[in-house]
Amino acid sequence: MLTDEQRQDAAHAILTAEQTRVVCPQPSKTWPEMTLEDAYDVQRRWAEARIEAGAKIVGRKIGLTSRAMQQASKMTEPDYGVILDDALYYDGAKIEAGTFIKPRLEVELAFIMGEDLSGAGCQVHDVLRATEFVQPALEIIDYRTEVPRQIVDTIADNAAFGAIVLGGRTIRPFDTDIRWIGATLSQNGTIEESGVSAAIMGHPAAGLAWLVNKLAPLGSGLKKGDIVLGGSFTRPVDIASGDVIFADYGPLGAIGVSFS
């Protein structure tokens, strides 16, 4: 367990890395005794600093929910972070690649909450009842620390969240079987990844149920209007300046974004 001062130092290091675009040492390397509780508190302190600078929390992200992502990250359990409004983009956006350190991109679904959802024992059907819309989304992930990373490093680093891109069609959660929403991810005209949303813990809403149960002991939960990224169902693709990305979700439309 870290001291209050050590937690603050870790949050400051990650914030500085984000601002300077220069990675910092892994918190677990500096403080080998770091626990999951420490890591989430470091994340909270980082988020508070970003909010003090003018950002606003508009939702949450869940990471490492699919086997593909756990294998890619060499992790064994999900994690979560916050989504900030200054990292929210929409279909057709032109994004400066230099905003990030080493960005990678993933294919996901975003859940737009229609009502608050909290408490232990949350199940997939509870998530579906509380969700107003489901929408295609891309997540840009970024590491503010050196690699290789332990789970505490990823958590402290806001679960590697960089930005979110929303697009395509919004659908209601019962309009289709959202387990079988598929997508292809093209980079500069070449399909690099494809996947189906059932790869996320068997159901894309399962990650949200996991998160609600995880937040319950903290007296927290999801709020009406929150944007919640349910997790990637493809492996991440490295992106750089000049790249053009196109994610095709079939009947749910597509998302196009370019990087300068």
Residues 60 and 231: their CA atoms lie apart, in Å, by 11
Residue 7 inside a domain? The answer is no
pTM for the whole structure:
0.95
Residue 194: the pLDDT is 97
Residues 172 and 166: their CA atoms lie apart, in Å, by 16
What mean pLDDT is predicted for residues 157-170? 97
Residue 77: the pLDDT is 74
Residue 210: the pLDDT is 95
Q: What is the three-class DSSP state of 124?
A: helix
CATH number of the domain bearing residue 92? 3.90.850.10
Q: With contact defined as beta carbons under 8 Å apart, do 103 and 97 qualify? A: yes
Residue 19 inside a domain? The answer is no
**pLDDT tens-digit readout, 187-243:** 999 999 999 999 999 999 999 999 999 999 999 999 999 999 999 999 999 999 999
| Domain count for the chain | 1
Residue 231 inside a domain? The answer is yes
Residues 207 and 205: their CA atoms lie apart, in Å, by 5
Residue 46 inside a domain? The answer is no
Three-state SS string over 19-33 comes to HHCCCECCHHHHCCC
**pLDDT tens-digit readout, 5-28:** 999 999 999 999 999 999 999 999
Tell me the C-alpha to C-alpha distance, in Å, between residue 216 and each of 60, 168, 210: 15, 32, 10
The tokens for 3 are 């001291």
Residue 130 inside a domain? The answer is yes
Helix (H) or strand (E) holding 105: strand 104-113
Residue 101's identity, in one-letter code, is I
Residue 30 inside a domain? The answer is no
Residue 134 inside a domain? The answer is yes
Which structural domain range is residue 167 located in? 58-259
Percent of the chain with pLDDT over 70: 96
**Higher pLDDT residue, 97 or 65?**
97
Residues 154 and 115: their CA atoms lie apart, in Å, by 29
Contacts of 219 (CB under 8 A, 6+ apart): none
**pLDDT tens-digit readout, 94-139:** 999 999 999 999 999 999 999 999 999 999 999 999 999 999 999 9
